[in-house]
Amino acid sequence: MNTKKSPNPIDVHVGSRIRLRRNILGMSQEKLGENLGITFQQVQKYEKGTNRVGASRLQAIASILNAPVSFFFEGAPGENGMEAPGVAEDGANYVSDFLSSSEGIQLNRAFVRIHDAKVRRKVLDLVKALASEPATD
């Protein structure tokens, strides 16, 4: 019999939002852990939802990552397991998953460095055009 309890969906969501914000800022798990006075392994456990983040620790994380505490709950599963808006039908939060990926982070960082609004619009138009074409693998 498997007695290992699966992580609470809210803990998993909060952890994924911690990882997302940390990655957006380009901060390592080691650096976040150092700022919190904990090991990077503990940060990993928080990010996976294996360990629950206490209120005072979440406040400290929010301060270090320069985000409001509410950021970590945005898009969280609601009561009865219902997903919040912005979540794909299969339950995967595709926006969060993309922004947490290496490509998503790189694209986001490069895009925000484009100061000309017209150029940003052209890049967006290009990406939309490429997305509508069939893959050439």
User: Where in 32-85 does DSSP place strands (E)?
Assistant: none
| 65 occurs within a structural domain | yes
Domain that holds residue 3: 1-78
User: What is the number of structural domains in the chain?
Assistant: 2
Residue 85 inside a domain? The answer is no
Dihedral of CA 88/90/96/70: which sign?
A: positive
pLDDT of 6 higher than 50: yes
Is the separation of the CB atoms in 47 and 36 below 8 Å? Answer: no
Q: Are residues 110 and 54 in the same domain?
A: no
Q: Is 96 part of any domain?
A: no
For 93-118, b/e burial (b = at least 16 CB within 10 A) is: beebeebbeeebbeeeeeeeeeeeee
pLDDT for 3: 57
Query: For 19-22, which contacts have Cβ atoms below 8 Å and span 24 or more sequence positions?
Result: 19/47, 19/100, 20/96, 20/99, 20/100, 21/65, 21/67, 21/71, 21/72, 22/47, 22/65
- Dist. CA 5–CA 52, nearest whole Å: 13
Asked whether residue 134 is assigned to any structural domain, the reply reads yes
Q: Do 57 and 3 share a structural domain?
A: yes
Residues 50 and 3 in one domain: yes
What pLDDT does 103 receive?
Answer: 83
134 and 68: one domain? Answer: no
Q: State the pLDDT at residue 105.
A: 78
- pLDDT (tens digit, 9 = 90+) per residue, 85-128? 444 444 445 666 676 677 887 887 888 788 888 998 998 888 88
Task: Convert the pLDDT of each residue in 43-94 to its tens digit.
Answer: 999 999 999 999 999 999 999 999 999 999 988 887 444 444 444 444 445 6
Are residues 124 and 72 part of one domain? no
Q: Could you give the CA distance from residue 6 to residue 119 in angstroms, rounded to a whole number?
A: 46
Instruction: For residue 23, give the CATH number of its domain.
Output: 1.10.260.40
Q: What's residue 88's pLDDT?
A: 45
Residue 60 counted as domain residue: yes
The verdict on pTM exceeding 0.75 is no
pLDDT of residue 77: 82
